[in-house]
Amino acid sequence: MLEPRPMALTSEQRAEIEAQRNEPQLTSRPTVPAMEKLLFTPIEVLDHGFLRVVDYMGDDGAVVQAARVSYGRGTKKVSEDAGLIRYLMRHRHSTPFEMCEIKFHVKLPVFVARQWIRHRMASVNEYSARYSILDREFYLPALDQVASQSASNRQGRSEALDPETAERVLEILRRDASQCYDDYESMLDPEGTGLARELARMNLTLNTYTQWYWKIDLHNLMHFLALRADPHAQYEIRVYAEKMIELLHAWVPATAAAFEEYRRGAFTFSAGMLNVVRRRLAGEAVTQETSGLSKREWIEMNDILEPEA
């Protein structure tokens, strides 16, 4: 069960959130009780980051209603609705899931934001460092996340460094981020340089925190989550995705269950891989050389079929 944990917010932010939570709105549109409890509340991610739902539209019933193009909420049983959602997910229908939308307020390090923004099927409005001054907040990884470069994956990490080396790395990151922010403040000082904010921001490190509002439909949210909650995704974006999956289960439980079954917990085989499986089932001893697959495809297939081998 997802438990919201308030961050160390300013008194103004706390007051704004409490005002939103204490002023319920009358509405005729469908709402989800589990989401209503979570609405507006920041959920802690990383050391200074958070994630919170600002608004949402639709529920599992909206997916079903769109698929059936019905006039009302329908009279089908819950089990029949869940079966339809599973069918839609299994056969990769997308438009019924696009009928639901959700809007997040996210606080995240800049380098995570630059990965995140590659998912273009969303509406984004980011905190402007041209207009406002960024806070003195930097992401510093936990000791066990300070790891060496992977030898097999050019964009990934390998084993954690020994504690002494990791502490030295963290000290460098902390020192450089602090020094760059000191210089940022100095350049902004009207009594000193008085540099424009849009220029002074160039000096900040990529672990500086930014914030944005991010609105996306359910179909594209699940595509984002399938990629970013994957074990191969970078840890710092994966932890956001994992929290969002918990929110997905609270918002659209039937859709979330189908997503876990047919997207997150499933694998796609190529025609060549499927042919190898059929040949094996027929009793043939297939090797990589006789499979017609490349070495990489052969390894990927066997990692799925024989994970413990």
Q: Is 21 annotated as a binding residue?
A: no
223 is in an annotated binding site: yes
Sign of torsion over alpha carbons 232, 113, 188, 8? negative
Contacts of 48 (CB under 8 A, 6+ apart): 7, 107, 137, 138, 139, 209
Known binding residue 129? Answer is yes
Q: Give dist(CA 236, CA 224) in Å, integer.
A: 14
Q: Indicate left, alpha or beta for 242 from its phi (over 0: left) and psi (-120 to 50: alpha).
A: alpha
Question: Where do the H-state alpha helices sit in the chain?
Answer: 11-21, 33-38, 60-68, 78-90, 110-116, 163-188, 197-200, 218-228, 235-251, 253-259, 271-281, 288-291, 295-305
> What distance in Å separates the CA atoms of residue 183 and residue 279, rounded to the nearest whole number?
66
Is 228 a catalytic site residue?
yes
**DSSP helix/strand/coil, 27:** coil
Do the annotations mark residue 120 as ligand-binding?
yes
Q: Is 193 flagged in the annotation as binding?
A: no
Q: Beta-carbon neighbour count of residue 92 at 10 Å?
A: 9
User: Smallest Cα–Cα separation from 108: which of 146, 51, 52, 147?
Assistant: 51
Q: Does 117 belong to an annotated binding site?
A: yes
| d(C-alpha 245, C-alpha 233), whole Å | 15
Has 209 been labeled as part of a binding site? Answer: no
115 is in an annotated binding site: yes
Confirm if 80 and 101 have CB atoms less than 8 A apart: no
- What Rg do the C-alpha atoms of the chain give, in angstroms? 24
Q: Any known ligand binding at 119?
A: yes
What does the alpha-carbon distance between residue 139 and residue 286 come to, in Å, rounded to a whole number?
49
**Edge-to-edge strands of the sheet including 101-109?**
43-45, 49-57, 101-109, 209-217, 123-126
Annotated active-site residue in 14, 197, 228, 278? 228
- Residues annotated as binding site? 95, 115-120, 126-130, 201, 217-219, 223, 228
- Residues annotated as binding site for dUMP? 115-118, 126-130, 201, 228
- Residues annotated as binding site for FAD? 95, 118-120, 126, 217-219, 223
Active site residues: 228
